[in-house]
Structure 1
Amino acid sequence: MNFTNKKILITGADGFIGSHLVEELINSGAQVKAFVYYNSFNSWGWLDTFSKEQLSKIEIFSGDVRDPNGVRTAMNGCDIVFHLAALIAIPYSYHSPDSYIDTNVKGTLNIIQAAKDLGVERILVTSTSEVYGTAQFVPITELHPKQPQSPYSASKIGADCISESFYRSFDLPLTIVRPFNTFGPRQSARAIIPTVITQLLSGMKEIKLGDLIPTRDLLYVKDTAQGFIKIAESNDLMGHEVNIATQSEISVGDLAQTLIDQINPNAQIVTDQQRVRPEKSEVFRLYGSNEKIKKYTTWEQKFSLEKGLEETIAWFRKPENLVRYKSDIYNV
């Protein structure tokens, strides 16, 4: 699919991956409508950090994916929809699971129902590697069983299933996009890499972390955004689930030590029990297959882990960015 003269809606455009996707698309000349979460501060999230020139190329719509009327209004006249809006913090899902069902399942239903009724040409629904749970085999392909090991992952499995049902029931031109562990500038404080970097740059000598054993497949955010775009351009992936992964893994402990070595070699890791997930809920191994995305698209990983971490650290070193993060507390 060619994006020329196509109107593109991005939900969750104010968030981490969403804001990078907005950037990539406007840089390519696409016509972008950014769906941001309505709030009384009139904050557009990370889009507030964009230049006036960038913002002049974006149409902003403030709303809530839980509201079907607002969703329908936002989607009217759009040709392509990238649905990224979601609640994503795993620890928060332990004590507020209702909000995850409302946003991730019902919110997705609102999006795909409107897409069906409005005749949207293409819709991409964002999943997560957390739906796989701890790897039963590696690399994890799209055929790996789904394991709801947290209320968050359960809500995303639910969203994936309702999406797939609309493809099968109504031939909705839909693809489920499943990024593995995306990192980079603008990532929320609850993720492992910002957690370590912000503690180190704030001068802490004891870096508080949870379990160090789990492994993750770490993907730089610009590669993730390009993965979305390449999948959207493919006419062969309707009804498919597609991983975006590096097909590699690193343990949390080794990752943290890598960051310590680069920023402050005198720091040391200490275990903070409140950061440790319940044992049966922890996903101990994520190592994704990228065979399908490479088979059907021209996507390839451009940023190595080392290069991605270098760019991420440089971004966090800027005082105007670091000040946004509360490194002295546990960010649920």
Structure 2
Amino acid sequence: MTKILVTGGAGFIGSATIAEVQKSGHDIYVIDDLSFGNRDFLTIPDTYFHQLDILNGHGLNEVIQKIDPDWIIHLAAIHFIPYCNQHPLKSSNINIQGTINVLNAAKSLKNLKKMFFAWTAAVYPICEDPIPETQQTNPLHIYGLSKLAGEHLMNEFHLQTSIHTIICKFFNAFGPNEVNLHLIPEIQRQVNSGLRTIELGNLEPKRDFIHTYDMARAIIMLLNKFDSGIDVFNLGSGQEYSVIDVVKEFENQLGEEITIKVDRSRVEKSRAKAFTG
């Protein structure tokens, strides 16, 4: 039985990943400060859950050493781009220094065999074509920059420890337990409130959406099969969808027409979040 530690496990992607891991009967431990996550998303005993900020290096080291996991899935980060842009120092500190703290604790573990780091496709420039792993990075905002720094930290970690390391760049996740109002939950919020004329921002971006359940299965598949060195993987559906495409899917489910009103105050925010998969 594999002992797995998930940082940020009470969050959007973390909760989906843990639900998938539980199907295999592994021991699952979670570290999450609940600033964005929710304890109710998880069905694990309290003894396996540690409410802890990854910036607390001493406390983090104590907990990780006590757990002594076989695998670490490092998901803890601030990833909502508008929040990162509004709080650049806080978000970069958590995403960079927090990752350093996790890696420092992991370096001295006796049983650690695999490290998984959640990266982001936001490190890429806006592209019209599907993005391969070889695409040159050019992040446009603080979130992408902070996660790009994380890749360098992971490479250094692997060089120092030889622990098998997976760097996985996520495209646009959607699914249950979303805690930030990205495009799909924002449309759902307005539609569920009874609106059939909804306000959105920039309608131009096309995104590669991947459901968190599919993402969770891919994470576990990579961990099960990857057993050599360090490598980078893009994780998306391989299909692009415009905002109009997404709204049409809501129309199909409702059997009703939805009118879009462009809210200019949202346009810049949506442009900041957009990238093509």
Partner SS state of residue 164, structure 1: helix
Contact in 2 for aligned 1:142/1:241 (Cα 8 Å): yes
SS of the counterpart of 2:215?
Answer: helix
Partner of 1:325: none
Find the counterpart in structure 2 of residue 62 from structure 1: 51
Counterpart of 2:32 in 1: which secondary structure? strand
Q: For residues 48 and 270 of structure 2, what CA distance do their matches in structure 1 show?
A: 44
Q: Secondary structure at the match of 1:108?
A: helix
Do the aligned partners of 2:81 and 2:273 also contact (CA within 8 Å) in 1?
no
Matched residue of 1:33: which SS? strand
Q: CA deviation at 1:38?
A: 5.4
**Correspondence for 1:32:** 28
TM-score by length of 1: 0.76
1:48 to 12, 37, 40: 40
Among candidates 168, 184, 195, match of residue 186 of structure 2: 195
Amino acid at match of 2:17: L
Amino acid corresponding to residue 121 of structure 1 in structure 2: K
The superposition leaves residues 44-99 of structure 1 with CA deviations (integer Å, 9 ceiling, x where unpaired) of 9444145xxx3349711110111111221222221110000110111112221001
User: What corresponds to 1:255 in structure 2?
Assistant: 246
SS class of match (1:175):
strand
Q: Counterparts of 2:98 and 2:215 in 1: how far apart (Å)? A: 22
Provide structure 1 residue ranges, at least 5 long, that are not aligned to the other structure.
288-332
Give the deviation of 1:169 after TM superposition.
4.2
Partner of 1:133 in structure 2?
A: 125
Match of 1:7 in 2: 3
Cross-structure match for 1:230: 221
CA distance in 1, matches of 2:26, 2:5: 11
Offset at 1:150? 1.1
Aligned to 1:74: 63
Q: What residue identity is the alignment partner of 1:286?
A: T
Question: Are 2:164 and 2:228, in contact at CA under 8 Å, matched by a contact in 1?
Answer: no
Q: Deviations over 1:289-330 (max 9, x none)?
A: xxxxxxxxxxxxxxxxxxxxxxxxxxxxxxxxxxxxxxxxxx
| Kept after mapping to 2: 8 A contact 1:32/1:58 | no
Residue number in structure 2 paired with 1:312? none
Distance 1:237 1:19 in 2: 27
- Residues 208 and 241 in structure 2, CA contact (< 8 A), matched pair in contact too: yes
Give the C-alpha shift of residue 188 in structure 1. Answer: 2.4
Instruction: Provide the C-alpha distance between the structure 2 equivalents of 1:280 and 1:209, rounded to a whole number of angstroms.
Output: 12
Letter in 1 for 2:137: K
For residue 49 of structure 2, what is the amino acid of its counterpart? I
> In 1, are the aligned partners of 2:17 and 2:216 still within 8 Å (CA)?
yes
Alignment of 1:1-332 (within 5 A): 4=1, 6-37=2-33, 45-50=37-42, 54-56=43-45, 59-76=48-65, 77-119=68-110, 120-135=112-127, 138-236=129-227, 238-263=229-254, 265-277=256-268, 281=272, 283=274, 285-287=275-277
Question: 1:141 Cα shift?
Answer: 1.0
Aligned partners of 2:196 and 2:258 also within 8 Å: yes
SS of 2:51 mapped into structure 1:
strand
- Distance in 1 (CA, whole Å) between partners of 2:209 and 2:270 is 22
> RCO greater where, 1 or 2, for CA within 8 Å and sep 6 or more?
2
5+ long unaligned stretches in structure 2:
none
In 2, are the aligned partners of 1:175 and 1:237 still within 8 Å (CA)? no
Whether the 8 Å CA contact 1:149–1:282 is kept in 2: the answer is no
Q: Deviations over 1:93-112 (max 9, x none)?
A: 22210011111111111111
Are residues 13 and 282 of structure 1, via their aligned partners in 2, closer, same or farther at CA, if it must alter by over 3 Å? closer
Q: In structure 2, what residue type is equivalent to 1:80?
A: W
Cα distance in 2 for residues equivalent to 1:278 and 1:192: 11
Identity of aligned residues (%): 28
- Distance, in Å, in 1 between the alignment partners of 2:249 and 2:17 is 28
